[in-house]
Amino acid sequence: MNEENIRELMRWYLDAGVDETISDAPVDRFTAAEQSAVFASQAEPDAAKASQAVPDAAKPSPGKSDKAGKPQDQKPRQDNTLPQGAEAAIHTAVSLASAANSVEELRSALESFDGCPLRKTATNLVFVDGNPAAKILFVGEGPGADEDLQGLPFVGPGGQLLDRMLASIGLDRQSVLISNTVFWRPPGNRTPTTAEIAICMPFVERLIDVVDPDILIALGGAAAKTLLAQSQGIGRLRGKWFPYSSPRLPRPIDAMAMFHPAYLLRSPGQKREAWRDMLMLKQKLTE
Ligand code: URA
């Protein structure tokens, strides 16, 4: 192939939306065995023997898949089976997360954790932004390209809208803490798989324990289903308070789902509902 052909091929890839490489060699993701291999390569030697179950909240919910989060470039894995190695990774995640007693200890634990395959393709760990002592914890789906580059959650266009939504009720990043259900960017902004969410979930649950917020907000359908353990779509879940309980919390936390800011950018007609949800949040803060 001469240079001009290569340039044309690159232009063709760019036009098709392929604008970054994610590994040194091509991977045929249509072959299930390949995906297992990614996990297997990261598994501990006794991976297959680990008996840690998938947390209930991370299992796929029945019903229609939610389209209200980020653009769905690829379908998430929709069955209950975990790729080889994922169980061992969850097991390690549980022991690392439960030994952490602060947000900073959780960050260190995540930095040392190589059980999530998303880490291989991401530029940076994206853990939290804001104030660990805040009363409100927002949890989104997973980092996008901007977040991956900066190592901070919600810094892209969706994050800028989130900042404006916070400002509309007198809040800012110092009055909240912001995180995600997975801590590394899924390649091409695809939806995180069930296994990826399950592997990160012990850290998310421990984050909620150590922050112990008064209010937990799930941003988008994927985070809502995971955290609220509900099967309905975001359109039905949003705008209602649910109790979020954990054995290590002194009491249930008031939790609510809201539309994901990236969805609001694509569907501005839904901003009215989002505004209602922000007013509910503001009201809750005065109770
Ligand atoms: N979308 C998310 O769900 N989280 C981010 O951090 C950015 C975009």
Give the pLDDT band (50/70/90) at residue 10.
Answer: confident
Query: Domain-by-domain residue ranges, the chain?
Result: 86-286
Mutate to test the pocket of ligand 1, among 125, 147, 179 (most ligand atoms within 8 A of CB): 147
Q: Ligand 1 centroid vs 141 CA: distance in angstroms? A: 6
Name all residues whose Cβ lies below 6 A of ligand 1: 70, 140-144, 147, 153-154, 156, 158-159, 180, 262
What integer pLDDT is reported at residue 12 of this predicted model? Answer: 77
Which pLDDT value is given to residue 82? Answer: 79
Read off the pTM.
Answer: 0.76
Query: Ligand 1, residues 66, 141, 150, 200: which to mutate, most atoms within 8 A of Cβ?
Result: 141
Q: Quick one: pLDDT at residue 29? A: 62
pLDDT band at 7 (very low <50, low <70, confident <90, very high): confident
Give the whole-number percent of the chain exceeding pLDDT 90: 70
Q: Ligand 1, closest atom to CA 141? A: 3
CATH superfamily of 86-286: Uracil-DNA glycosylase-like domain (3.40.470.10)
Q: pLDDT, tens digit, for every residue of 229-285?
A: 998 999 999 999 999 999 999 999 999 999 999 999 999 999 999 999 999 999 999
- How far does the centroid of ligand 1 lie from the alpha carbon of residue 138, in Å? 10
Please tell me the distance between residue 88's alpha carbon and the centre of ligand 1 in angstroms.
27
Q: What is the pLDDT of residue 45?
A: 39
144 CA → ligand 1 middle, Å: 6
Average pLDDT score over residue span 72-76:
47
Three-class secondary structure assignment of the chain: CCHHHHHHHHHHHHHCCCCCCCCCCCCCCCCHHHHHHHHHHHCCCCHHHCCCCCCHHHCCCCCCCCCCCCCCCCCCCCCCCCCCCHHHHHHHHHHHHHHCCCHHHHHHHHHHCCCCCHHHHCCCCCCCEECCCCCEEEEECCCCHHHHHHCCCCCCHHHHHHHHHHHHCCCCHHHEEEEECCCCCCHHHCCCCHHHHHHHHHHHHHHHHHHCCCEEEEECHHHHHHHHCCCCCHHHHCCCEEEECCCCCCCCEEEEEECCHHHHHHCHHHHHHHHHHHHHHHHHHHC
Least confident segment among 16-20, 73-77, 225-229:
73-77
Q: Examine the pLDDT at 72 and tell me if it is beyond 50.
A: no
Asked if pLDDT for residue 113 goes beyond 80, the answer is yes
What's the 51 CA to ligand 1 centre distance in angstroms?
A: 31
**Which ligand 1 atom lies nearest to the CA of residue 146?**
7
Q: Is the pLDDT of residue 53 over 80?
A: no
- Cα 143 to middle of ligand 1, angstroms: 4
pLDDT digits (tens, 9 = 90+) for 156-174: 999 999 999 999 999 999 9
Q: Give the atom of ligand 1 at the shortest distance from the alpha carbon of 69.
A: 3
Q: How far is the CA of 125 from the centre of ligand 1 (A)?
A: 13
